[in-house]
């Protein structure tokens, strides 16, 4: 039988694509990864598919589309929750999640069927983990890497520098395919990572070019030009990632901020 089962939660949106993917790893000793939003029909489906064999619940991070079903399922099945809380402020935070087991980088869950290794990948969220299923060389990517769109990096918890470093770290691992938090399995991991890094750095160069053109500008204006290839209704979301780029550039002394204006340093 397949070691990986996927169920997509019925929460489609611009943020979540077709919905959040929930994964059940194993058959006799199941690790449930990202139970998703607290939606009864989704919870029922997870419990049915688990068939009494779900032993623990693990979350990649604690955004509201990934972890809120953890608490109700943990109560129903009497199984522990694994994950990590964010340190500071975070947008889109699920306040109901509280881990029984706090995950650390390289923690392993070992069963007779598989070994799952936690890889701390801050960037999209400071408490974000990917999970490597060692026997399959499959990486559960959560929101670190999505199929079909780039992920949002929302400061202050989201951090662009961390995001790029976490991507580069994945290049050092043996991975054959990704099982993302949104969308379908992705079979060219190295290419995908390299193209995400290129895309982010191109966005950063474009930000610098636009600041050079304008002299100085606010983020509300800047987003229209830096993301002119993205539909305007997505600009409020793009603004989060633009802010993350600007914070990174300020950290590198390439940009400075004066009240609401950004300019080249
Ligand atoms: Zn997220």
Q: How far is the CA of 155 from the centre of ligand 1 (A)?
A: 12
Looking at the structure, tell me whether residues 55 and 121 fall in a common domain.
yes
Q: Is the pLDDT of residue 246 over 70?
A: yes
- Residues 61 and 168 grouped into a single domain: yes
Residue 84 has pLDDT above 90, yes or no: yes
What are the beta bridge partners of residue 177? 138
Residues 129 and 29 in one domain: yes
Closest CA to 146 of 249, 18, 250: 18
Alpha helices in the chain (DSSP H): 40-50, 70-77, 160-170, 189-214, 219-226, 235-251
214 lies in which domain range?
196-264
166 and 71 share one domain:
yes
Q: Mean pLDDT over all residues of the chain?
A: 96
pLDDT at 14: 85
Q: How far is the CA of 261 from the centre of ligand 1 (A)?
A: 28
Query: Looking at residues 25-48, what average pLDDT do you find?
Result: 98
Q: Which of 187, 208, 224 is the last residue of a domain?
A: 187
State the pLDDT at residue 90.
87
Q: Which residues of 64-76 are buried (b: 16+ CB within 10 A; e: fewer)?
A: bbbbbbbbebbee
Average pLDDT value for residue range 135-143 = 97
pLDDT in tens, 215-243: 999 999 999 999 999 999 999 999 999 99
| DSSP E strand stretches across 13-157 | 21-25, 30-33, 54-58, 81-83, 101-102, 108-110, 115-120, 129-133, 138-142
We report the CATH number of the domain holding residue 216 as: 1.10.10.10
Q: Which of 122, 119, 90, 114 is nearest to 104 (CA)?
A: 119
Q: How far apart are the CA of 37 and the centre of ligand 1, in A?
A: 12
SS3 content of the chain, % helix, strand, coil (to 5): 35, 25, 45
**Is 207 in a helix, a strand, or coil?**
helix
| Count of domains observed in the chain | 2
What is the 56 CA–ligand 1 centroid distance (Å)?
21
Q: Are 85 and 154 part of one and the same domain?
A: yes
CATH of the domain at 124: 3.60.15.10
135 and 167 part of one domain:
yes
User: How would residue 91 be classed by pLDDT, with cut points 50, 70 and 90?
Assistant: confident
Note the pLDDT of residue 1.
55
Q: Is the pTM of this model over 0.85?
A: yes
Q: What whole-number distance in Å separates Cα of residue 265 and Cα of residue 116?
A: 45
115 Cα–ligand 1 center, Å? 24
- State in Å: Cα 191 to ligand 1 middle: 22
Inform me whether the pLDDT recorded for 114 exceeds 70.
Answer: yes
For range 87-98, the mean pLDDT: 91
As a whole number, mean pLDDT of residues 161-187 equals 98
- Say yes or no: 205 and 105 in one domain: no
Q: Are residues 204 and 78 in the same domain?
A: no
**Residue 230 burial (CB < 10 Å; 0-12/13-18/19+)?**
middle
101 and 217 fall within a common domain: no
Q: Is the pLDDT of residue 195 over 80?
A: yes
pLDDT score of 89: 85
Domain end among 138, 160, 187: 187
Residue at which a domain ends, from 187, 205, 231: 187
pLDDT at 181: 98
Domain identity same for 100 and 38: yes
Are 183 and 18 spatial neighbours (Cβ–Cβ below 8 Å)? yes
Cis peptide before 156 (omega within 30 of 0): yes
| Bridge partners of residue 180, in order along the sequence | 142
Residues 123 and 10 in one domain: yes
Say whether both 108 and 224 belong to one domain: no
Tell me how far the alpha carbon of residue 151 lies from the centroid of ligand 1, in angstroms. Answer: 8
């Amino acid at each position: 039988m397949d070691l990986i089962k996927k169920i997509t939660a019925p929460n489609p949106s611009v943020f979540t694509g077709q919905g959040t993917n929930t994964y059940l790893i194993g058959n006799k000793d199941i690790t449930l990864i990202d139970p998703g939003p607290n939606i009864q029909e989704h919870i029922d489906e997870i419990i049915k598919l688990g068939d009494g064999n779900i032993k623990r619940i693990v979350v990649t991070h604690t955004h509201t589309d990934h972890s809120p079903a953890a608490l109700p399922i943990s109560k129903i099945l009497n199984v522990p929750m694994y994950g990590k809380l964010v340190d500071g402020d975070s947008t889109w935070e699920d306040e109901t999640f509280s881990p029984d087991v706090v995950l650390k980088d390289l923690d392993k869950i070992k069963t007779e069927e598989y070994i799952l290794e936690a890889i701390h990948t801050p960037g999209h969220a400071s408490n974000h983990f990917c999970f490597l299923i060692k026997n399959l060389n499959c990486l559960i990517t959560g929101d670190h890497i999505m199929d079909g769109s780039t992920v949002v990096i929302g400061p202050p918890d989201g951090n662009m520098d961390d995001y790029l470093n976490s991507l580069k770290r994945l290049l050092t691992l043996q991975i054959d395919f990704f099982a993302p938090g949104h969308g379908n399995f992705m079979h060219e991991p190295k290419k995908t990572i390299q193209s995400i890094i290129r895309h982010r750095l191109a966005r950063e160069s474009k930000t610098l070019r636009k600041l050079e053109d304008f002299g100085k500008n606010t983020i509300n204006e800047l987003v229209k030009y830096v993301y002119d290839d993205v539909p305007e209704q997505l600009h409020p979301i793009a603004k989060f990632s633009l802010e993350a780029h600007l914070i990174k550039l300020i950290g590198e002394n390439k940009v400075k901020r004066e009240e609401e204006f950004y300019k080249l340093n």
